Amino acid sequence: MFIKNKKFIIFIFLAVGLTAANFALSAVSPYPNLDAVAGGTGLQTATTLPGMVGIVINALLGLLGALFIILIIYAGFLWMTDLGDGKQAQKAKDLIKNSIIGLIIVFASYGLTYFILNNLIKAVK
């Protein structure tokens, strides 16, 4: 396993959970004029729980997309600096393959989350 310390993993899950709870509890904006200005400029504002969940999901997908690009660039660098040995090229190929599999998993989870949240919102209305 990449991270052997279980306390660290629990801490990360708690931090993410508390952050999500903070977004959920701050449904009423303390700055209504700021929301009006942001809405006028085209920025996303959310005062409902589904809106905030959407913003959080979009932010996380953006971070994962950036991570995918960084991994592909790193794998390309490894492949180019192989110098005919073959070990780095194989490592780069594996990294590219695993990155693409991870990207497919992210897209599938986004599709599943979108489908479930859309149907929940329709069921509540």
Extents of the domains making up the chain: 1-46, 48-125
Please list the alpha-helical segments (H only) found in 1-125.
6-25, 32-41, 49-80, 87-124
Distance CA 24, CA 8 (A): 24
Max Cα distance, the chain (Å): 62
* 9-52 tens-digit pLDDT: 666 666 666 666 555 545 555 556 666 666 667 666 666 776 77
Q: How confident is the model at residue 94 (pLDDT cuts 50, 70, 90)?
A: very high
Which one-letter amino acid corresponds to residue 82?
A: D
